[in-house]
């Protein structure tokens, strides 16, 4: 971070609520914020991120273009009452983040600062020996117009990315585009619409089983509230609605599913039986996937009833067509048309071009060269420190345990005297420990009175990159063993040679 031109500072973890109200994020983040009332009755926020605090600081400190550009960073504990905390350190309520914020005079400046951070992040993750992918991503509650996520492929990951091995397209699942391919009309002839009784059957699987039609011959009609205005969204029933795409399309700030009462008011029927035919007074928008369908099934807007052989244009009209669904594995790539592959990943870093949202709300302006007052243009950049640990372990392990990349290992060397009752072994182990320590090598000595088997097993499990084994048999020939955890290669060497070998193995 320092080499990339950033300056380190440490911000408070406790923030006044008023700061969060100025940007509207006290309400927007809602239950994610961990808050408490202090002895004077003031509400305080435990910082989940620091855009508010840093922008307030810069607003007070920087007055002129001469103070810009500036990139500031910290390594700090963050607090988020996550809706779905996950095992270990992947997603916790308290975690460590390295966060940075850039302030520039204009867009070109932001692009430069952004690139400097982006490149530094690539170097950081490379140095952590992580195999990672960068993808374009949604900006979520940060706002702004562009963001990139740094993703580590791992089975235990909770983020999904879509990629194409043909042309290299990659995007996070929330923004990966679906093509208009499915707009092509099926050649089937239009059949007469007909009402069918589907008593108590409302989910897609059950309706399709009951009526003996495939899920892709069903259309789901989802009633939502977009900034308090109702909207009906149509989507082929085997697809999943992507609320981020809908929110962006409608340009609304809150998108919520309608409750039973609103559904009844709008459609006349109960939840689970909505359909577009005869629907009045509500905007009907549809995913592209519905456009090519003929003779499909929809809800009939009355209890226990569906309609079969419903058709577009003849039976109802759609006001807007767009891409409102999540892409599926096997769907065509939006860039080249070949097949998209989905994989689970762990998000270890995230960079955003924020623009002026925070500088406007918190008054971070400066006097430019031309004598005009202007708003600072911001970027923000985060790395999940503990999450890197989880990701590194997911990627570097074998059946025996962790294989730490040297740059992240808690120790570089572990010394294993196999028999603590053997004086000579202990003497050599302690001597070696002193020698390596004085060379500033991080070294740990397993001086527990455990069996050799347990020591070997534990050393493999905790994954220190280099093991030095001191056993009676080899000692009799004046040799000790140096073993690399990664490939389990063992060499027998004299004590002196061993130190040289270790220095050679270290990065």
Ligand X SMILES: Nc1ncnc2c1ncn2[C@@H]1O[C@H](COP(=O)(O)OP(=O)(O)O)[C@@H](O)[C@H]1O
**Which stretch in 64-72, 304-312, 353-361, 378-386 sits in contact with ligand X by CB under 6 A?**
378-386
Residues 27-66 interacting with ligand X (rule: CB under 6 A): 49
Among 17, 264, 302, 335, binds Zn ion (CB under 5 A): 335
Residue 187 beta carbon to Zn ion: minimum distance, rounded to whole angstroms: 28
**Residue 440 φ/ψ region, left for φ over 0, alpha for ψ in the -120 to 50 degree band, beta for the rest:** left
Distance in angstroms (rounded) separating the CA atoms of residues 102 and 380: 6
- Over the window 162 to 201, marking each residue x when it contacts Zn ion by CB under 5 A and - when it does not, the resulting string is --x-xx-x--------------------------------
CB-based contacts of 119, cutoff 8 Å, min separation 6:
4
Residue 347 beta carbon to Mg ion: minimum distance, rounded to whole angstroms: 5
Residues 331-390 interacting with Mg ion (rule: CB under 5 A): 350
Indicate the residue among 20 and 169 with the shorter CB distance to Zn ion.
Answer: 169
Count the Cβ atoms, other than its own, within 10 Å of residue 490. 11
CA distances to 149, 208, 370, 458, 484 from 462, rounded to whole Å, are: 29, 51, 60, 6, 13
From Zn ion, ligand X, Mg ion, none, which one binds at residue 164 (CB under 5 to 8 Å depending on kind)?
Zn ion
From Zn ion, ligand X, Mg ion, none, which one binds at residue 50 (CB under 5 to 8 Å depending on kind)?
none
Distance in angstroms (rounded) separating the CA atoms of residues 348 and 434: 37
From Zn ion, ligand X, Mg ion, none, which one binds at residue 333 (CB under 5 to 8 Å depending on kind)?
Zn ion
Indicate the residue among 161 and 466 with the shorter CB distance to ligand X.
Answer: 161
Residue 352 beta carbon to Mg ion: minimum distance, rounded to whole angstroms: 9
Residue 103 beta carbon to ligand X: minimum distance, rounded to whole angstroms: 19
From Mg ion, Zn ion, ligand X, none, which one binds at residue 167 (CB under 5 to 8 Å depending on kind)?
Zn ion
Strand ranges (E), 80-169:
94-104, 133-136, 146-153, 159-163
Residue 386 binds to ligand X (criterion: CB under 6 A): yes
CB 71 within 8 A of CB 100: yes
Distance in angstroms (rounded) separating the CA atoms of residues 360 and 131: 38
Q: Are strands 373-375 and 70-79 parallel, antiparallel or unpaired?
A: unpaired
Give the H/E segment covering residue 16. strand 14-16
413 three-class SS: strand
The structure tokens listed for 200 are 């108590």
The residue written with tokens 């308090």 in the block is 228
Q: Is residue 112 classed exposed, middle or buried when 0-12, 13-18 and 19+ CB atoms within 10 A define those classes?
A: middle
Among 333, 375, 402, 416, binds Zn ion (CB under 5 A): 333
Residue 163 beta carbon to Zn ion: minimum distance, rounded to whole angstroms: 8
Residues that bind ligand X (CB under 6 A): 49, 80, 82, 91-92, 95, 97, 140, 347-350, 382, 384, 386-387
Residues that bind Zn ion (CB under 5 A): 164, 166-167, 169, 333, 335-336, 338
């Amino acid at each position: 971070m320092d080499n990339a031109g950033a300056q380190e500072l440490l911000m408070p973890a406790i923030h006044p609520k008023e700061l969060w109200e100025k940007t509207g994020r006290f309400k927007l983040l809602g239950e994610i914020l961990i808050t408490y009332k202090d002895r004077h009755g003031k509400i305080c926020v435990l910082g989940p991120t620091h855009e508010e605090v840093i922008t307030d600081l810069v607003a007070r400190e920087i007055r002129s273009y001469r103070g810009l550009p500036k990139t500031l960073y910290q390594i700090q504990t963050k607090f988020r009452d996550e809706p779905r905390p996950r095992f270990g350190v992947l997603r916790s309520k308290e975690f460590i983040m390295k966060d940075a914020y850039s302030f520039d005079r204009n867009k070109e400046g932001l692009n430069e600062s952004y690139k400097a951070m982006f490149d530094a992040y690539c170097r950081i993750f490379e140095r952590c020996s992580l195999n990672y992918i960068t993808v374009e991503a949604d900006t979520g509650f940060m706002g702004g117009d562009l963001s990139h996520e740094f993703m580590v492929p791992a089975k235990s990951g909770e983020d999904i990315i879509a990629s194409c091995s043909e042309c290299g397209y990659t995007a996070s699942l929330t923004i990966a585009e679906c093509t208009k391919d499915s707009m092509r009309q099926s050649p089937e002839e239009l059949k007469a619409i007909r009402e069918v009784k589907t008593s108590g059957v409302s989910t897609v699987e059950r309706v399709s089983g009951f009526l003996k039609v495939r899920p892709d011959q069903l259309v789901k009609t989802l009633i939502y509230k977009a900034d308090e205005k109702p909207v009906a969204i149509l989507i082929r029933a085997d697809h999943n609605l992507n609320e981020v795409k809908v929110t962006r399309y409608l340009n609304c700030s809150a998108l919520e599913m309608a409750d039973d009462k609103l559904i009844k008011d709008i459609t006349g029927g109960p939840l689970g039986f909505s359909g577009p035919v005869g629907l009045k007074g509500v905007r009907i928008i549809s995913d592209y996937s519905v456009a090519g369908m003929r003779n499909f099934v929809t809800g009939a807007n009355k209890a226990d009833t569906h309609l079969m052989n419903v058709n577009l244009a003849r039976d109802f009209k759609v006001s807007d067509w767009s891409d409102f669904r999540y892409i599926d594995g096997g769907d065509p790539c939006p860039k080249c048309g070949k097949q998209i592959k989905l994989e689970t990943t762990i998000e270890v870093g995230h960079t955003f071009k924020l623009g002026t949202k925070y500088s406007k709300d918190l008054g971070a302006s400066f006097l430019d060269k031309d004598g005009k007052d202007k708003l600072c243009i911001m970027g923000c950049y985060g790395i999940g420190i503990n999450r890197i640990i989880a990701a590194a372990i997911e990627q570097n392990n074998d059946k025996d345990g962790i294989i730490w990349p040297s740059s992240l290992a808690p120790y570089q060397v572990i010394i294993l005297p196999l028999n603590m009752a053997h004086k000579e072994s202990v003497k050599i182990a302690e001597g070696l420990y002193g020698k390596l320590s004085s060379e500033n090598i991080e070294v740990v000595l397993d001086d527990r009175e455990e069996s050799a088997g347990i020591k070997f097993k534990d050393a493999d499990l905790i994954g220190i990159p280099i093991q030095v084994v001191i056993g009676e048999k080899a000692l009799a020939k004046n040799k000790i063993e140096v073993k690399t955890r990664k490939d389990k290669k063992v060499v027998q060497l004299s004590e002196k040679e061993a130190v040289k070998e270790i220095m050679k193995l270290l990065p």
